């Protein structure tokens, strides 16, 4: 089709962008208009997808990292047929399929929920990592697609972007292609006010192929895409130099167009300039037909793939079983877990390490790694046995993240978004702050990812307050849809791991101790699993019958609660382990009453962290023993004494509190 026809179709998209943001009285038209040339050509001529099935497994992935340009993506998805006119007209409205920033579980064709800048870029690398791993595992006849990204100046400025870019260059993600719409404008004004970086030299130093083009020149766009697809050992950054609000009547190059709709007068004048109808949300039939002229080939490509998959499943039962298993949560009966000796002392991080090692053969699609804390996070043996992932070893399952917690969290999210793998990332709990927004995005996107955190309390010891988490457990519990597991011992750790692997639509944060804790007398495995699965259960009942006091605790403080109860009055005290408050809150009120009967008002909660959240369970007059201050640099044993986390100190506090 002649270029002028393509340009008219691009102008139609710009009209949709202007109309939708104006009707919503909210949105970001400028960047969407400057990126429209590239996005249109990518979708119309290059992107592999099934027009009838947005979830076709071997589709190319497109991630709009510049999530504020959402109306550009929605306009393209309307031309694809995944969205309709009503969707465009309800942009940014309550419960519409076209929210202000793309949401992958809400809108067909959206691969990742983006908005917080830089994370779409990082998640896209996770998608490309999954593709490279699965291609190395199954071959190109089953996995053979690209991951494309549209990024903005703001994306590139975010440290999570550059941190993850270093990983993707190191890993040689040759099928990751990022288009950087460099319009030199951001919300506050010209990028030159805050950024002097030479992006070409910067990304080349990170082992990327870099191509610079005029982002409005269609032939340069096509040539750049061809060069990017031909490069197999390096990711590619295409720097498209563009003009924000390209095509507007009087606002080209204006920062005012970044985050505010055009006036009605500006839209009318721009439509005249672009040769568009004054009709709102107009899509000429010839534009839709031209955009879809490749659809018969796309449908045939998808159908051919399905036939290949079916034939391989029929001819290779092992593959068929593995394929089915890779596309659903883990079933409890599929895993044999390690055993732990009652009475021994095992750090729950070491219990995690043993569980991880047991999964090497049993869960061959488990992939992940540590943020440069392999020995501390107990992932060193895992790394040595499964191999290090990279272009030269695409079937390697250990991801060497380096000291990059935030990129790690976002990459894990991308792996989960792709599907076919079970991803995990590990670091110290105190550094969960660094990746917090990735954890939030994990929960928001309903991703069954595993986020591992060790060294979960002041027992870190000599490393001091910078490394001793205080508020972090409570902080994680504030994130909706995130399961926070803090197991009491090795057996609970195993049970929590099993539950995390069973999740379909929510991530898990698993918090493990540095120090050894006693392996409690194990209940029968089904009973333990049921108790942990309900978030809280009785680990020791009052010896004299119905209790008149309840001790509740998590993690390493459960054994402390048990010992303190013996000193106070074992005949009258029930001890409850609460490894996951979120699961406990989901239980029927009958079960909650069974564990924490309202008639027992004398309650004590013990956790080595902030106390605030526990008053929900103890009541206003209950006792919460925790830590509401920063730690100190000293041996852990000294801190236990200083902070009152001994059985004697707890017993004394309980007697004093309830003396009246």
Binding residues are 28, 68, 115-117, 153-154, 183, 185, 258, 349, 376, 431, 455, 463, 467, 514
Q: Residue 5 has which token pair?
A: 């026809």
Sheet holding 623-625, edge to edge: 537-540, 573-577, 549-553, 603-606, 623-625
The one catalytic residue among 405, 492, 557, 607: 405
* Nearest CA among 13, 7, 109, 129 for reference residue 63: 109
**Do the beta carbons of residue 395 and residue 137 sit within 8 Å?**
yes
Name, in order, each residue with C-beta under 8 angstroms of 317's C-beta and a sequence gap of 6 or more. none
Q: Among candidates 157, 129, 614, 135, which has minimal Cα distance to 400?
A: 129
| Sheet of 147-152, strands arranged across | 61-64, 147-152, 176-182, 236-241, 209-214
Three-state secondary structure string covering 352-392? HHHHHHHHHHHCCCEEEEECCCHHHHCCHHHHHHHCECECC
CA distance 50 to 316: 26
CA distance 514 to 350: 8
Closest CA to 452 of 421, 475, 486, 477: 486
Q: What is the DSSP letter of 393?
A: B
Q: Extract the annotated binding site for thiamine diphosphate.
A: 68, 115-117, 154, 183, 258, 431
Which positions make up the binding site for Mg(2+)?
Answer: 153, 183, 185
Distances (CA, A) of 505 to 116, 483, 502: 21, 11, 10
The answer to whether the CB of 551 falls within 8 A of the CB of 574 is yes
Helix (H), strand (E) at residue 150: strand 147-152
Binding residue ranges for substrate: 28, 258, 349, 376, 455, 463, 467, 514
Q: What are φ and ψ of residue 91, in 5° steps? A: -55, 130
Q: Is residue 530 annotated as a catalytic residue, yes or no?
A: no
- Tokens linked to 485: 């597991």
Query: Is 80 exposed, middle or buried (CB count within 10 Å of its CB: 0-12, 13-18, 19+)?
Result: buried
**What separation in angstroms does the CA of 656 have from each of 538, 552, 572?**
25, 18, 17
| Run of H or E including 406 | helix 405-418
The answer for residues whose C-beta is within 8 angstroms of residue 322's C-beta and 6 or more apart is: 364, 365
Residues belonging to the active site: 405
């Amino acid at each position: 089709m002649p270029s002028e026809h393509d340009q008219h179709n691009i102008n139609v998209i710009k009209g949709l962008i202007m109309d939708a943001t104006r009707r919503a009285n909210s949105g970001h038209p400028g960047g969407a208009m400057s990126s429209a040339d590239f996005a249109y050509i990518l979708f119309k001529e290059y992107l592999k997808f099934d027009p009838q099935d947005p979830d076709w497994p071997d589709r190319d992935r497109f991630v709009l990292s510049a999530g504020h340009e959402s109306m550009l993506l929605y306009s393209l998805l309307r031309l694809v047929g995944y969205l309709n006119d009503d969707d465009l007209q309800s942009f940014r409205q309550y419960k519409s399929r076209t929210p202000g920033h793309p949401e992958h579980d809400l809108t067909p064709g959206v691969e990742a929920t983006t908005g917080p800048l830089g994370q779409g870029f990082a998640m896209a690398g996770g998608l490309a990592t999954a593709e490279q791993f699965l291609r190395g595992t199954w071959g190109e006849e089953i996995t053979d697609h690209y991951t494309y990204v549209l990024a903005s100046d703001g994306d590139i400025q975010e440290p999570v972007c550059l941190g993850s870019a270093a990983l993707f260059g190191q890993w040689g993600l040759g099928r990751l292609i990022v288009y950087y719409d460099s319009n030199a404008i951001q919300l506050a004004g010209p990028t030159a006010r805050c950024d002097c970086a030479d992006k070409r030299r910067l990304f080349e130093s990170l082992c990327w192929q870099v191509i610079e083009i005029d982002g409005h020149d269609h032939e340069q766009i096509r040539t750049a895409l061809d060069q990017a697809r031909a490069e197999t050992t390096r990711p590619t950054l295409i720097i498209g130099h563009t003009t924000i609000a390209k095509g507007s009547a009087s606002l080209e190059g204006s920062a005012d167009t970044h985050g505010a709709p055009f006036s009605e007068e500006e839209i009318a004048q721009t439509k005249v300039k672009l040769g568009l109808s004054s009709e709102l949300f107009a899509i000429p039939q010839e534009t839709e037909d031209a955009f879809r002229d490749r659809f018969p080939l796309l449908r045939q490509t998808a159908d051919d793939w399905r036939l290949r998959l079916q034939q391989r499943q029929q001819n290779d039962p092992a593959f068929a079983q593995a394929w089915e298993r890779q596309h659903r949560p883990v079933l409890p009966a599929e895993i044999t877990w390690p055993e732990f000796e009652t009475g021994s002392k095992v750090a729950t991080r070491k219990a995690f390490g043993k569980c991880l090692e047991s999964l090497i053969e049993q869960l061959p699609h488990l992939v992940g790694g540590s943020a440069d804390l392999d020995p501390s996070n107990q992932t060193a043996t895992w790394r040595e046995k499964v191999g290090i992932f990279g272009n030269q070893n695409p079937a390697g399952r250990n991801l060497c993240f380096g000291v990059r917690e935030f990129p790690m969290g976002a990459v894990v999210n991308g792996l989960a978004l792709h599907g076919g793998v079970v991803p995990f990332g590990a670091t110290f709990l105190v550094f969960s702050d660094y990746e917090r927004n990735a954890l939030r995005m994990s929960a928001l996107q309903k991703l069954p990812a595993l986020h591992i955190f060790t060294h979960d309390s002041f027992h870190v010891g000599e490393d001091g307050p910078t490394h001793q988490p205080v508020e972090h457990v409570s902080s994680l519990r504030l994130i909706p849809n995130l399961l926070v597991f803090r197991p009491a011992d090795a057996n609970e750790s195993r049970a929590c791991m099993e539950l995390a692997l069973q999740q379909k639509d929510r991530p898990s944060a698993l918090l493990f101790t540095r120090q050894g804790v006693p392996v409690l007398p194990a209940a029968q495995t089904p009973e333990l699993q049921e108790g942990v699965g309900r978030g809280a259960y009785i680990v020791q009942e009052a010896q004299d019958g119905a209790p008149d006091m309840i001790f509740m605790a998590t993690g390493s403080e459960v054994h402390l609660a048990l010992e303190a109860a013996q000193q106070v009055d074992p005949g009258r005290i029930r001890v409850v382990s609460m490894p996951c408050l979120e699961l406990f809150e989901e239980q029927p009120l009958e079960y909650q009453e069974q564990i924490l009967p309202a008639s027992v008002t004398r309650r004590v909660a013990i956790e080595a962290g902030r106390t605030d959240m526990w008053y929900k369970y103890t009541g206003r007059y209950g006792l919460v023993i925790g830590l509401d201050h920063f730690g100190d640099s000293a041996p852990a044993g000294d801190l236990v004494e200083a902070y009152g986390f001994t059985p004697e100190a707890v017993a004394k506090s309980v007697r004093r509190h309830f003396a009246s």
